[in-house]
C-alpha cells in the first residue's frame, strides 16, 4: 500500500477522507463536499490508490478516478464492515477501508462501465414495474371479492373475465368504485405495455452482442436473463471456477465444519436476488419442458433432462429447480469463459 493511499467514505453530500501509509495508519483526515472532493482527487498524483466501498455512486467515482489516472479499488461492503472499530461513524468507516485493504483475501469489485449500469438500470425499472403490476392485480382481485366476484390467479384470467364485469351495467359493484376499477385495469394494461416495450429493447440490444447470443444457447437462459447477466457481471474472468460464480450468486449451500464433520444446509441467498430469481425461473422452465419431452416416446432426452427429472423424483420440484439453477450458473460460467456456444448431448 502506497503512502498516498486515499480512503473515501462515500455519501450524498459530505465525504470523509482518510489518507494512510503502508501500515494502514491514518496520516491525515479531511471532510469534503462533493465539489471539493472532486478537486481533491484532481490534485492527487497519478497511480494513487483510492479506496471506496462498492455501494451507491461508487462506480461513478471509480470512473472519475480512472479518467484522472488514479487506481480505484471498490471493496465489498459486507467485508469492510468487519474492520469498523468502536462505534460506527464516517471516520471509523474511512479507517476501516484502509485496514480492509491490507487483507489480501478481499477481492475488489471491478468498476462498471456506463453502458453496463444503463442496462442494469433498465432491469431495475422493469423489476419495479413488475412489482407494481402484481400489486395492482392483487388489489383488483381483492376488491372484486368483496362483491362476490372471484377471479382466478394469473393475469390471463384477469384480462379474460374482469373487462366484461367492470363494463356491464348489471355489475354488483357501485358506480364510483366501478369507475376506479376500470382505471385500475387500464393501469395494469399500461404497465404490461411498458414491460413489453422494455423487453423488446433488451432483445434488440442482445442481437449485436456475441456473449449474449452464446448465453442464450443454454437451455433456460433467455434474453432477459442473458442481458441481466451482462449488466451485473463486470468481468467473468474474476471467477476462477464455476462454483465460485455460483457462490457469488448465492446458489451454493451454507457450510459449517468442525474437525471431520461437515454440515451443508440451504443455499446462502447472497448476491443479486434478481439474478438468482431469473436463474431459478429458467430452471423451472427446463423442468417443465423435460416433463413434456418425457411424455413423448419419439423424443430423445438430453443427459441434463434425464438428470433433472431424476432429481425432481427424489427431492421435489422446488429443490430440484434450485439445484438446477446452481448447475446452470456453472454452465454459464463455462460458456462465457470458453467463448463457445452450449452443446447438448442426447441420450437414448
Which superfamily, per CATH, for 5-101? ATPase, nucleotide binding domain (3.30.420.40)
Where are the domains positioned within the chain?
A: 5-101, 114-208, 212-338
pLDDT value at 70 more than 90: yes
Q: Which residue has the cell 461508487?
A: 58
Residue 10, Cα to own-chain centre: how many angstroms?
Answer: 22
Q: Looking at residues 195-203, what average pLDDT do you find?
A: 96
Q: Looking at residues 87-105, what average pLDDT do you find?
A: 91
For residue 348, what pLDDT band results from cuts at 50, 70 and 90? very low
In this prediction, residue 172 carries a pLDDT of 77
Cα–Cα distance list, 217 to 26, 228, 332, 343 (Å): 51, 15, 10, 8
For residue 345, what pLDDT band results from cuts at 50, 70 and 90? low
Contact predicate 91/64, CB 8 Å: no
Helix axes 34-42, 58-67, angle to 10 degrees: 30
- Determine which of 18-27, 46-55, 102-111, 286-295 has the lowest per-residue pLDDT on average: 18-27
Contact predicate 24/102, CB 8 Å: yes
Query: What SS3 state is found at 269?
Result: coil
Model pLDDT for residues 246-259, shown as the tens digit of each residue: 999 999 999 888 88
In this prediction, residue 170 carries a pLDDT of 65
Percent of the chain with pLDDT over 90: 68
Query: What SS3 state is found at 5?
Result: strand
293: number of Cβ within 10 Å: 15
For residue 344, what pLDDT band results from cuts at 50, 70 and 90? confident
Grid coordinates of 113? 462501465
d(CA 155, CA 40): 54
For residue 346, what pLDDT band results from cuts at 50, 70 and 90? low
Grid coordinates of 304? 441434463
Q: What angle do CA 157, 163, 166 make, to 5 degrees?
A: 125
- Determine which of 108-122, 299-313, 334-348 has the lowest per-residue pLDDT on average: 334-348
Strand segments, DSSP code E, in the chain are 5-9, 14-20, 26-33, 49-53, 71-75, 253-258, 261-267
For residue 285, what pLDDT band results from cuts at 50, 70 and 90? very high
Model pLDDT for residues 123-181, shown as the tens digit of each residue: 999 999 999 999 999 998 888 888 888 888 888 888 888 887 776 666 677 778 888 88
In this prediction, residue 180 carries a pLDDT of 87
pLDDT value at 64 more than 70: yes
In this prediction, residue 151 carries a pLDDT of 81
Q: What angle do CA 282, 288, 289 make, to 5 degrees?
A: 90
d(CA 292, CA 129): 32
d(CA 19, CA 3): 8
In this prediction, residue 168 carries a pLDDT of 67
DSSP code at position 329: H
In this prediction, residue 245 carries a pLDDT of 95
How many residues are listed for the chain in this entry? 348
d(CA 318, CA 331): 20
Amino acid at each position: 500500500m502506497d503512502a498516498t493511499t486515499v480512503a473515501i467514505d462515500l455519501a450524498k453530500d459530505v465525504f470523509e477522507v482518510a489518507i494512510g501509509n503502508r501500515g494502514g495508519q491514518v496520516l491525515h483526515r479531511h471532510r469534503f463536499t462533493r465539489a471539493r472532493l472532486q478537486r481533491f482527487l484532481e490534485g492527487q498524483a497519478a497511480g494513487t490508490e483510492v479506496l471506496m466501498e462498492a455501494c451507491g455512486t461508487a462506480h461513478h467515482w471509480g470512473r472519475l478516478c480512472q479518467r484522472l489516472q488514479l487506481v480505484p479499488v471498490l471493496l465489498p461492503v459486507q467485508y469492510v464492515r468487519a474492520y469498523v472499530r468502536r462505534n460506527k461513524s464516517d471516520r471509523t468507516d474511512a479507517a476501516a477501508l484502509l485496514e480492509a485493504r491490507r487483507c489480501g483475501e478481499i477481492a475488489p469489485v471491478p468498476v462498471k462501465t456506463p453502458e453496463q449500469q444503463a442496462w442494469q438500470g433498465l432491469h431495475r425499472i422493469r423489476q419495479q414495474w413488475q412489482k407494481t403490476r402484481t400489486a395492482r392485480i392483487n388489489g383488483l382481485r381483492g376488491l372484486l371479492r368483496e362483491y362476490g366476484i372471484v377471479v382466478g390467479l394469473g393475469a390471463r384470467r384477469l384480462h379474460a373475465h374482469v373487462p366484461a364485469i367492470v363494463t356491464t351495467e348489471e355489475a354488483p359493484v357501485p358506480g364510483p368504485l366501478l369507475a376506479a376499477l376500470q382505471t385500475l385495469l387500464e393501469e395494469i394494461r399500461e404497465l404490461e405495455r411498458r414491460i413489453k416495450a422494455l423487453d423488446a429493447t433488451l432483445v434488440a440490444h442482445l442481437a449485436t452482442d456475441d456473449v449474449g447470443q452464446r448465453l442464450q444457447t443454454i437451455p433456460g437462459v433467455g434474453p432477459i436473463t442473458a442481458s441481466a447477466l451482462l449488466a451485473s457481471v463486470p468481468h467473468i474472468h474474476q471467477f476462477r471456477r464455476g462454483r465460485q460464480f455460483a457462490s457469488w450468486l448465492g446458489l451454493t449451500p451454507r457450510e459449517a465444519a468442525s474437525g471431520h464433520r461437515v454440515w451443508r444446509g440451504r443455499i446462502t441467498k447472497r448476491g443479486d436476488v434478481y439474478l438468482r430469481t431469473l436463474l431459478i425461473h429458467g430452471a423451472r422452465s427446463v423442468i417443465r419442458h423435460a416433463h413434456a419431452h418425457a411424455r413423448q416416446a419419439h423424443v430423445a432426452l438430453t443427459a441434463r433432462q434425464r438428470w433433472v427429472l431424476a432429481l425432481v423424483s427424489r427431492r421435489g420440484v422446488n429443490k430440484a429447480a434450485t439445484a438446477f439453477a446452481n448447475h446452470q450458473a456453472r454452465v454459464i460460467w463455462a460458456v462465457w469463459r470458453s467463448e463457445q456456444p452450449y452443446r447438448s448431448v442426447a441420450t437414448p
